């Protein structure tokens, strides 16, 4: 019974995280084996008497809710890099080349898919699974099994969206500024050389500038900024009195 209650929270996290989703760990036997090992590793965090006190259905519903909330918080770094790729592709005019991203399971721009793969590699090379285990352990300390979910502060939920957009725009800001200057120069060029189509040059030129500028700071930025959000600190927004 303890295993079932623990599975309700942890399985949702493993199924929703892009790096551990169905597109990556497609074999259910392998995925459930990993979840089982995590459950065993976190065994001291569980409340053995919670089912008899609250009832199985009530506890399972609460744990599923906690798992969904925890997965949403832990997915923020991956959504940041996806938004970063979308912003850069939008600025260079390449959003018409959307491709299927196996990590997110949906259609994303070219840079979004590339950044998602790159951040997944950075995540694992930066002891990402250890960070995940630490976040799961702290979630049981902050929100133990049987925690009252009636006090969720939904009015503050928009803060997560603000942080996501703010971080993605800050990461894209150097490229956006350079592309703005490029657009102005192309406009001046088209004004004085109308026989040359500046529009046909813009995609190639802006793509080249985007790649060069982002190479100067992008990899270090992806390794530092988004990983800071891979924690349960954002849960404090929902449970300020927890």
Query: Binning pLDDT at 50, 70 and 90, where does residue 177 land?
Result: very high
- Dihedral angle, C-alpha 72, 79, 10, 242, nearest 10 °: -40
pTM score, whole prediction:
0.83
Q: Return the pLDDT at 223.
A: 79
Q: What tokens appear for 31 in the block?
A: 């995925």
242 vs 193 pLDDT, higher one: 193
Q: Tell me how far apart the alpha carbons of residues 223 and 69 are, in angstroms, rounded to a whole number.
A: 24
For residue 136, is pLDDT > 80? yes
C-beta separation of 199 from 93 below 8 A: no
Query: What is the SS3 assignment for 101?
Result: strand
> In this structure, what are the phi and psi dihedrals at residue 48, rounded to the nearest 5 degrees?
-70, -25
Q: What is the mean pLDDT of residues 19-25?
A: 72
Residues pairing with 100 in the sheet: 107
Residues 6+ apart with CB under 8 A from 88: 111, 172, 175, 210, 214
Q: What tokens appear for 67 in the block?
A: 């798992």
Q: Return the pLDDT at 242.
A: 47
Where is average pLDDT lowest: 48-52, 135-139, 142-146, 195-199?
48-52
Nearest CA to 164 out of 238, 101, 72, 236 is that of: 72
- Dihedral angle, C-alpha 99, 100, 103, 109, nearest 10 °: 30
C-beta separation of 21 from 103 below 8 A: yes
DSSP notation for 16-79 = HSGGGSTTTS--HHHHHHHHHHHHHHTGGGS-TTHHHHH-HHHHHHHHHHHHHHHHHHHTHHHH
Q: Angle CA(207)–CA(210)–CA(212) in degrees, nearest 5? A: 110
Mean pLDDT over each residue of the chain, to the nearest integer: 81
Q: What tokens appear for 231 in the block?
A: 């924690």
**Where are the chain's structural domains?**
2-238
Query: What is the SS3 assignment for 108?
Result: strand
The one-character DSSP state at 107 is E
Q: What is the pLDDT of residues 75-133, one digit of tens each?
A: 889 989 988 988 888 888 766 665 555 555 566 678 888 888 888 888 888 888 888 88
For residue 151, is pLDDT > 80? no
């Amino acid at each position: 019974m303890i295993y079932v209650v623990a599975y309700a929270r942890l399985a949702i996290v493993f199924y929703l995280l892009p790096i551990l989703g169905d597109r990556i760990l497609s074999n259910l036997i392998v995925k459930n084996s990993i979840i089982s090992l995590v459950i065993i590793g976190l065994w001291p965090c569980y409340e053995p008497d919670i089912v008899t006190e609250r009832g199985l259905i009530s506890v399972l519903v609460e744990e599923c809710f906690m798992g969904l909330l925890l997965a949403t918080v832990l997915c923020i770094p991956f959504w940041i890099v996806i938004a970063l790729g979308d912003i850069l592709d939008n600025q260079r005019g390449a959003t018409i080349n959307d491709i299927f991203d196996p990590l997110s399971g949906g259609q994303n721009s070219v840079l979004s898919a590339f950044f998602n793969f790159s951040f997944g590699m950075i995540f694992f090379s930066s002891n990402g699974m250890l960070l995940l285990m630490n976040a799961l352990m702290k979630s049981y300390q902050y929100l133990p099994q049987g925690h009252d979910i009636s006090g969720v502060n939904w009015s503050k939920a928009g803060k997560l969206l603000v942080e996501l957009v703010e971080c993605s725009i800050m990461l894209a800001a150097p490229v956006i500024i350079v592309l703005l200057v490029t657009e102005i120069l192309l406009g001046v060029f088209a004004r004085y050389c109308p026989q040359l189509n500046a529009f046909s040059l813009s995609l190639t030129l802006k793509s080249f500038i985007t790649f060069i500028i982002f190479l100067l700071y992008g990899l270090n930025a992806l390794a530092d900024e988004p990983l800071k959000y891979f924690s349960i600190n954002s849960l404090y927004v929902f449970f300020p009195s927890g």
